[in-house]
Amino acid sequence: MKAVFQYTKNKSKHKIKFFSVNEQPWEYVCFSSLETLNKKENLEYIKNFSSTSLMDYSLNKGTWSLCCKLELFKKNNIFSIAPDKDDANPNIHTIIDNKKNIKFFFNCSGIAPSDFIDRMLKLKKKQKVSEFSIKDNNLVIFLLPGADVPNCKSKFTKKEISNFSTNFNNFIDDRIKKEKLLKFKVPNGNYVINTYWHYDIFGEHDDSGFDVIGHLVELKK
């Protein structure tokens, strides 16, 4: 969770709700459908989740906070978001319109979403990251520890890995018990992930290194 600042008195036409997770240092935000996540084949990738690969992907493209599907998860649509230059993860929000359509917004900026969200949602210019399908009416947002970070205190132990291997549902239960997984009921269908940039919303670049405003996940029209 990161601190954000509200610079205007804007009131959004949408209902914006913030969700917190029990985040510890060197844990990273990921998301997918529950069906996609709950596959035993993911265990090898999860226990070896690399923060270095995530950061390298983002920084090799010249910025922070990019959303991607790591090489580890190429077979499955599990997406990760790199932290910002201060090593902070994005804030997690739902956005609901007056027809009760739900979108998910990962705020990578230091600005309160009510300052810009209505303007952002009207933009035609955005950067498509990927698409994925949901067939089980469940989208999950969860944290994974960096297996390659020596000081990460929440890394999975050998005992935990063994427990996950015995029954992979134990991994889901572990994330829920530790308050590191959020589960949302959503319509089935194809979902699109778009990235929004500071320049496109505010008309100027952010010289402090927060060029990425955030990532929006929504049901494809």
What are the residues whose beta carbons fall under 8 Å from the beta carbon of 109, sequence distance 6 or more? Answer: 4, 198, 206, 210, 212, 213, 214
Check: CB of residue 78 under 8 Å from CB of residue 36.
yes
What digits encode the pLDDT tens for the residues 159-203? 999 999 999 999 999 999 999 999 999 999 999 999 999 999 999
State pTM to two decimals. Answer: 0.96
pLDDT tops 70 at residue 72: no
Q: What is the pLDDT of residue 74?
A: 67
Which is higher by pLDDT, 179 or 1?
179
Residue spans of the domains in the chain: they are 23-219
Q: What is the Cα–Cα distance from 128 to 122, expressed in whole angstroms?
A: 15
Q: What is the pLDDT confidence band of residue 34, given thresholds at 50, 70 and 90? A: very high
